[in-house]
Amino acid sequence: MGRLPTLAILVALGMAACEDSGVRAERDGEGAPAMPIQGYVMARWHDEIPDAEFAGDCPDGFNQTEEEYFPEQWADWMTERIRRRNAGSYLPWDDERLPPDACQDPLVQPDPGFLTLDGAATVHGLDLDGIDSSRAGSASCAHDDFAGHNGTGGIDNQHWRLMGCVRGYRPNDLMDRLHEGGTSIKEGGYALLMEITGLDDPWNDEEVEVQILSANHPVTVDAVGGIMRDVSYTAHTDARYHNAVARGRIEEGILTTDPVDFRIKVKQQTMDNEFWFRDARIRGEVQPDGTIRGIVGAYWDIDNLFSTLNDQWIGKYHQGRNAARSRGFMCAGIYHALPRMADGHADPETGRCRSISTALHFEAVPAFVIRPQIAMAD
């Protein structure tokens, strides 16, 4: 039969082509060879909160909520609330007895001050400005760096100094528990993706490119509540979230990148916003199972930061002050504290800093990043 030889030739050619495809990376149990492009989805993405409390963290105590600090403003509302509750009903969220909302308009309240974490501590993070800074220095937006783990120093995390004396942000408190549970990832509306290209060797590669993007849909959760591997995600249709590509390199399994800006879309519970990080650097460790775990150190634009803290909605009702109350701070206070604590991107004319250093933990799980079609679906 004439057909068989033709097919045999085709298959033989295919086998030959197989011989010289890229470098194979044997991860234990995983057989797929390393591709020049490797996609990831973030299974973990949250701000650094130190592993332990330090004795000298907040000598003046923790920040107060509006009700605690301005009790006389809240007296009427409190009384009415209790009266209604006893009668079995509730006050509406936009009740007129509520004091002016500084979360919606920070200037309607006086600045109550803000307690920051000024002392020494050991935190996870990166040295973003390359120097072991201190407030005593003459540089603009001068600030004290932290010590890092493993004997490193010069860790820039003004964000932690800002939030460190807020009750809900203390180690093992509200935000820490939410981070551990990974709810913002699992319930989030848009998965967070990373793609590494130019990857010849997953352990040592002098030149790779790294891109952070938002996906068009949520993560896929597996049968035991983890983030499923090898899932395909379509990048967000709005190219605003496709972000610039950072240059990077991998040395002995440590991935580092040059600074790059990125915006990511976050939609979860009451929040539907974007996060804008500037001059972000990634430092991750490649694991034997193919995941990458590490830190993103970045400068968070302070106006964006403020909006993510208080720009929370349920329907048409603003939830910023509820979020602030449950976490333990006042929008008015934080609004004025932010420029004081900011340490990045100084305005050339005024010298005032527009961004604040921060650190985020990430865990990236292998996935496929699919670019959306520009033409109609095939």
Partner 1 sequence: MPSSMRQALSGLGIVLTLAAGGGCSSPERPEAQGGELVMRRLTEAQYRQAILDVFADDLEIAGRFEPDNRREGLLSVGSAWVTVTPSGFEQYEAMGRSIAGQVVSEANRSRFVPCVPGDVSLPDSNCAEAMLRSVGPRLLRRPLEDADIRPRLAAAAAATQRTGDFYAGLELIVTSLLVAPDFLFRLEAAVSDPMDSDRLTLDDLTMASRLSYLLWNAGPDRELLDAAIRGDLTSEETLARQVDRMIDSPRLEQGVRAFFDDVFRFDAFSVLSKDPIRYPKFSNALVQDAREQTLQVVVDHLVDDRGDYRDLFTTPHSVMTRTLGAVYAVPVSAEKGWQDYEFSAADARVGLLSHASFNLLNAHPGRSSATLRGVFMREALLCQTVPPAPADVDFGLFNQDDNPAYRTARERLAVHASDATCRNCHRLTDPIGLGLEVFDGIGGYRTTENGAPIDTSGELDGDAFVDHRALGRVFRNSPLVGPCLVENLYRYAVGREPVYSERRLLRHLEESFTESGFRLDALLRNIALSEGFRTATRSEKAALDEGRQAARAEKEGAA
Longest distance between any two alpha carbons in the chain, whole Å = 97
Beta-bridged to residue 319, according to DSSP, are none
CA distances from 100 to 88, 110, 270, 313, 315 (A): 26, 11, 21, 17, 20
Which of 9, 13, 75, 139 forms a contact with partner 1 (CB under 8 A)?
13
Which of 85, 149, 217, 240 forms a contact with partner 1 (CB under 8 A)?
217
Report yes or no: 290 and 30 within 8 Å, Cβ to Cβ: yes
User: The tokens of 69 are what?
Assistant: 């600090």
Helix intervals (H) in the chain:
3-19, 66-69, 71-86, 158-163, 174-181, 183-186, 302-310, 320-327, 331-341
Kindly tell me which of 59 and 288 has the beta carbon lying closer to partner 1: 288
Which of 73, 220, 268, 269 forms a contact with partner 1 (CB under 8 A)?
220
Kindly tell me which of 7 and 244 has the beta carbon lying closer to partner 1: 7
Which of 63, 64, 216, 357 forms a contact with partner 1 (CB under 8 A)?
216
Contact positions with partner 1 (CB under 8 A) in 143-182: none
Minimum gap (Å) between residue 362 Cβ and partner 1: 20
Judged by CB under 8 A, the stretch of 23-31, 131-139, 196-204, 248-256 that binds partner 1 is: 23-31
Instruction: Determine, following the binding rule CB under 8 A, whether residue 82 of this chain makes contact with partner 1.
Output: no
Strands 254-257 and 245-251: antiparallel
Minimum gap (Å) between residue 236 Cβ and partner 1: 12
Instruction: Determine, following the binding rule CB under 8 A, whether residue 92 of this chain makes contact with partner 1.
Output: no
Instruction: Determine, following the binding rule CB under 8 A, whether residue 23 of this chain makes contact with partner 1.
Output: no
Kindly tell me which of 10 and 120 has the beta carbon lying closer to partner 1: 10
Instruction: Determine, following the binding rule CB under 8 A, whether residue 7 of this chain makes contact with partner 1.
Output: yes
- Using CA atoms of 283, 243, 334, 121 in order, give the dihedral in degrees to the nearest 10: 0
User: What is the rounded distance in angstroms from the CA atom of residue 327 to the CA atom of residue 155?
Assistant: 25
Which residue type is seen at 19? E
Quickly count: other Cβ atoms within 10 Å of residue 323's Cβ. Answer: 21
Report yes or no: 327 and 175 within 8 Å, Cβ to Cβ: yes
User: What is the rounded distance in angstroms from the CA atom of residue 79 to the CA atom of residue 230?
Assistant: 55
Count of residues that bind partner 1 according to CB under 8 A: 37
Instruction: Determine, following the binding rule CB under 8 A, whether residue 315 of this chain makes contact with partner 1.
Output: no
User: What is the rounded distance in angstroms from the CA atom of residue 28 to the CA atom of residue 25?
Assistant: 10
3 state DSSP class of 79: helix
Instruction: Determine, following the binding rule CB under 8 A, whether residue 226 of this chain makes contact with partner 1.
Output: yes
Which of 121, 193, 194, 231 forms a contact with partner 1 (CB under 8 A)?
231
Contact positions with partner 1 (CB under 8 A) in 339-368: 368
Which of 9, 11, 23, 108 forms a contact with partner 1 (CB under 8 A)?
11
Kindly tell me which of 132 and 230 has the beta carbon lying closer to partner 1: 230
Interface residues toward partner 1, by CB under 8 A:
1-4, 6-7, 11, 13-15, 17-18, 21, 26, 28-32, 39, 216-217, 220, 222-224, 226, 228-232, 234, 368, 370, 373, 377
